[in-house]
Amino acid sequence: MIASIQTKDHSITRTLQDFFAGMLKTGAADAVLVPSRMSDSPYVKPCLIASHDRLDRTVPLGPGFFVNAGPMMSRLTRTRAGSTLVAWLRPCEIRAFVELTKLRQGAREEVVIIGMDCPMALSRTDYDDWAGQGNDMSDDVEKWIQTVYQKPVTQVDAWPVSRACQVCDAPYPVNADVSVMLLGGDLDREIALRADTEKGEKLLAEMDLSEGQEPERRKALLADLETERTEAFQAMDEEMLDQTGSIESLNRFFSACVNCYNCRSVCPVCYCKECVFNTDAVAYAPTQYLSWADKWGQVSLPNDTVFFHLTRLAHIGCTCVGCGQCTLACPSHIPVSDLFISVTRNARKAFDYVPGRDDAEPLPLSVFQESEFTDIVGMGNKEAT
């Protein structure tokens, strides 16, 4: 089922705001989760809205992306609320939420997920400059939308999109209930929506929308994006191998790390309820530090920065959703996501695993397949004894 929303007053933002308001007015949703500006600030955060007259500050599409809503969805769905929640999520946010549901840290039963072709995002510094061009931002948002959905781009005017967006291999909704198909669309006229599940069909039917169709240019633009981003990832992968391919270069890469743990805090799939780095396991005795200093001549403090990042890599080795939040949050400007995306995407190939692809697909490290790594474990090798 494909429906369409007629664009009002040449404003995609206003059209989507009215779409959300209609859900609340008709009772199709009890609340919607959508990015929204707080007061007069240009910054947006996921906001849970239950009143149809509080949607005027929402920014459904735009380059501001400072919180991955996956963990917010986990909080909102960890127990049943007896209400219907409609969540407007970027593709990487859907992937994060799906991965958390596999860890029993959330559930989809009472949620209708609306995903969209991704509008991409700016770095924090570039967003500050972009948002500083005007207080209202509405015209800038509309220009951003019209630019990123008409052709493959890596920057809008003077502002390059984040590195994570430039290499994202799935900038379209997967595992959503409703997919908003924006790439290549005549957005001044209409916005196309496709129901991908029964829940999605029910929602669109309750909204009584016109019949629509997928934009003719969308598939071609997606193919162009795939080619462009594959090349960008290969370049980044080679760069990361050069910068982190030895223990010496890895230490250099993380040399500015101050163990603030911001990357852990914003990571949507860093799933431990209690991090080992907050326990006595790494609360070393003073004599231990002195022993290390005596053995090696010196010990830099904090001393476990690289160990911390390697531990995180081990935990999310196949489930990193590539949202780039870790780089965005790093006060030392370390391109953490470049390394994590590079390592985890290569690790995923070994398990034929894609985070967020399938709710029923088990986490790779939670199951054992006889066909995995037979050259290492010896299974299937006739000479093995």
Q: What is the pLDDT of residues 210-226, one digit of tens each?
A: 999 999 999 999 999 99
Q: Do 115 and 176 contact (CB within 8 A), yes or no?
A: yes
Euclidean distance between CA atoms 30 and 305, whole angstroms: 44
Question: CA nearest 33: which of 80, 82, 94?
Answer: 94
Q: pTM for this structure?
A: 0.92
Euclidean distance between CA atoms 94 and 100, whole angstroms: 10
SS (H, E, C) 13-52: HHHHHHHHHHHHHHCCCCEEEEEEECCCCCCEEEEEECCC
Euclidean distance between CA atoms 342 and 195, whole angstroms: 33
At residue 261, the pLDDT reads 94
SS (H, E, C) 288-333: HHHHHHHHHCCCCCCCCHHHHHHHHHHHCCCCCCCCCHHHHHCCCC
Q: pLDDT 10s digit of each residue in the chain, 385 long?
A: 999 999 998 899 999 999 999 999 999 999 999 999 877 788 899 999 999 999 999 999 999 999 999 999 999 999 999 999 999 999 999 999 999 999 999 999 999 999 999 999 999 889 988 887 656 688 899 999 999 999 988 888 889 999 999 999 999 999 999 999 999 999 999 999 999 999 999 999 999 899 999 999 999 999 999 999 999 999 999 999 999 999 999 999 999 999 999 999 999 999 888 888 888 888 888 999 899 899 989 888 888 899 999 999 999 989 999 999 999 999 999 999 999 999 999 889 888 899 999 999 988 877 776 666 666 656 555 544 4
Q: For the chain, how big is the Rg over CA atoms in Å?
A: 22
At residue 384, the pLDDT reads 43
Per-domain residue ranges for the chain? 2-221, 223-365
Neighbours of 353 (CB within 10 A): 19
Alpha-carbon separation of residue 356 from 70, 165, 325 (angstroms): 11, 17, 17
